[in-house]
Chains A and B, each alone.
Chain A
Amino acid sequence: MKFGIVTFPGSNCDYDTMRAVVDVLGEEGVYLWHKDRDLQGADVVVLPGGFSYGDYLRPGAIARFSPIMTEVVAHARRGAPVVCICNGFQIACEAGLLPGALLRNQTLQFVSAPVTMRVENTSTMFTSAYEPGQRITMPVAHGDGRYTADRNTLDALEGEGRVVLRYADDTGEATSTANPNGAERNIAGIVNEHGNVFGMMPHPERAMDELIGSRDGIGIFQSLLMAVPA
């Protein structure tokens, strides 16, 4: 399977994502420059973490107008998978690929730490490799990760099983202390209504090896390998 990893000016997780895809999974990866208008035949597009355009104005606000984003939106409209991690999640919300927005962390502090999540829905193409209710740990590294949306949107996300990952403690309870940024309803990851665009604040590409603390991120990529015809 071919993963297209978008590099915006200020992206800093594109290399980690390439390493995850190529070295850990043994799949094909290609960098997609933000000024390009060609996805180079990628089956899956990844919008990686970082600080595209220096987070000027709002995180993701300017990146969404990059030439490559026209192609990414078209890819998403065709029902093809898009994985939006951290800054990628922020960009996807700004681009209207996902509902809601990501606000400054409630503590006003940048948070760089491992977090535990509960897998809420394993029937998506991004989470089928996990067990329902499984607790997984991955790092977060963000200053603007507080997911928010209006009440109707939040209720729709909940009702349609689109809250895919939720911050939870070791026992699986979605407590406020387990919530690193004050996200509404402890939301860590969501999918769009067609289930092919996935946004999450934690970093699966940084959780690919026990050596650095966790390999729980592999499941996101394995799920895609099972779901998408190569």
Chain B
Amino acid sequence: MTPYRVSIHITPRRGILDPQGKAVESALHSLGFPGVSSVRVGRHIVVDTEAESEDAAVASVTAMCERLLANPVIEDYEIESASSA
């Protein structure tokens, strides 16, 4: 077994109102960043896990996302990286 570090990005699903993202977006506009067209505020989770391979680590974290880490009704998730921790 090899230790892996897996990063997960969780964001509100498209089409779901994200009032935090909206508030940040308007704050950025008032700070002088008029080019900002959209902000979504989500969550970043880092999991250290042991697995047989990188693929196995990703498969395991995918199962974690489906069961607990993300709620598919309201959130999308993206597994960004699996690297030896």
Which chain A residues have a beta carbon within 8 Å of chain B's beta carbons? 57-58, 61-62, 65, 93-94, 100-101, 103-108, 146, 148-150, 182
Q: List 7 A-B contacts (CB under 8 A).
A: A57-B69, A61-B68, A101-B74, A103-B12, A103-B16, A107-B19, A148-B74
Closest residue on chain B to residue A96 by CB atoms: B73
Contact between B71 and A108, CB atoms less than 8 A apart: no
- A182 near B17: Cβ-Cβ < 8 Å: yes
For A106, give its contact among B17, B71, B73, B74 (CB under 8 Å). Answer: B17
CA gap between A100 and B72 in the complex, in Å: 10
Least Cβ–Cβ distance between B79 and chain A, in angstroms: 17
Extra inter-chain contacts (16) besides given A101-B71, A146-B17, CB under 8 Å: A57-B69, A62-B68, A65-B68, A94-B71, A100-B73, A101-B73, A101-B74, A103-B74, A104-B19, A104-B20, A105-B19, A106-B17, A148-B16, A149-B73, A182-B17, A182-B19
Q: A107 CB to closest chain B CB, in angstroms?
A: 7
Secondary structure at chain B's binding surface: helix, strand, loop or mixed? mixed
Closest 9 CB pairs of A and B: A101-B73, A101-B74, A106-B19, A108-B19, A101-B71, A58-B71, A103-B74, A148-B16, A104-B19
Of the four ranges (under 10, 10 to 19, 20 to 34, 35 or more), the interface on chain B belongs to 10 to 19
Are A61 and B71 within 8 A (Cβ)?
yes
**Residues A108 and B73 in contact, CB atoms below 8 Å apart:** no
Query: When A and B form their complex, what is the total count of cross-chain residue pairs whose Cβ atoms lie within 8 Å?
Result: 34
- Least distance between B84 CB and chain A CB atoms (Å): 26
B23 within 8 A of A: yes
| Majority SS at the chain A contact face | loop
Q: Tell me, in angstroms, the Cα distance from A65 to B68 when the chains sit together.
A: 9
- The residues of B that contact A148 with a CB separation of less than 8 Å are 16, 73-74
A146 to nearest B CB, angstroms?
A: 8
Q: Which residues of the partner chain A approach B71 to less than 8 Å between Cβ atoms?
A: 58, 61, 94, 101
Residues of A within 8 Å of B69, CB to CB, are 57
Shortest C-beta distance, A150 to chain B (Å), equals 8
